[in-house]
């Protein structure tokens, strides 16, 4: 007798299981990478009244990208410790390190070009 539902995985385990924080460091790192890539749009959500006279929005974006990439890099390093997510953690480590390097070069060029 053939059962139709023999190949349904266990809902609480395997690749369809719930992701808990000790297992999700690489996911959190990739979320910070996505946040670093969308920092321009995230800083656009801040009301103008909060930034008036304090700091320019492009400068806030320029400093938030390496900050978010640094957090992503740290979470990727934590994620490397677990063998289950090591492949994704290596990808997240590479992506966040690339963003951190390029944003560092961009900040260096900004301060090198700006007078004073």
**Would you call 90 exposed, middle or buried from its count of C-beta atoms within 10 A (0-12, 13-18, 19+)?**
middle
What is the rounded distance in angstroms from the CA atom of residue 98 to the CA atom of residue 96?
5
Q: Which of 66, 79, 70 is nearest to 28 (CA)?
A: 79
pLDDT given at position 115: 74
For 42-83, how does the pLDDT look when each residue is reduced to its tens digit (9 = 90+)?
A: 888 888 887 776 678 788 888 999 999 999 999 999 999 888
Q: Report pTM.
A: 0.76
SS3 call for 89: helix
pLDDT given at position 43: 87
Please report whether residue 4 resides in a domain: no
Please report whether residue 68 resides in a domain: yes
For 8-41, how does the pLDDT look when each residue is reduced to its tens digit (9 = 90+)?
A: 556 566 655 666 666 788 889 999 999 999 998 9
The whole domain housing 42 covers 22-113
Total domains in the fold of the chain? 1
SS3 call for 87: helix
Is 1 a residue whose pLDDT tops 70? no
What is the rounded distance in angstroms from the CA atom of residue 43 to the CA atom of residue 36?
11
Please report whether residue 9 resides in a domain: no
């Amino acid at each position: 007798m053939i059962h139709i539902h023999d190949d349904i995985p266990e809902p609480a385990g395997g690749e369809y299981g719930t992701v808990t924080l000790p297992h999700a460091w690489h996911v959190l790192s990739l979320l910070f990478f996505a946040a670093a890539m969308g920092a321009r749009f995230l800083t656009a959500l801040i009301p103008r009244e909060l930034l008036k006279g304090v700091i320019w929005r492009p400068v806030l974006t320029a400093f938030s990208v390496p900050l978010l990439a640094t957090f992503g890099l740290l979470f990727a390093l934590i994620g490397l410790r677990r063998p289950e997510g090591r492949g994704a953690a290596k990808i997240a480590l590479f992506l966040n390190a690339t963003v951190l390097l390029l944003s560092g070069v961009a900040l260096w060029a900004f301060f090198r070009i700006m007078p004073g």
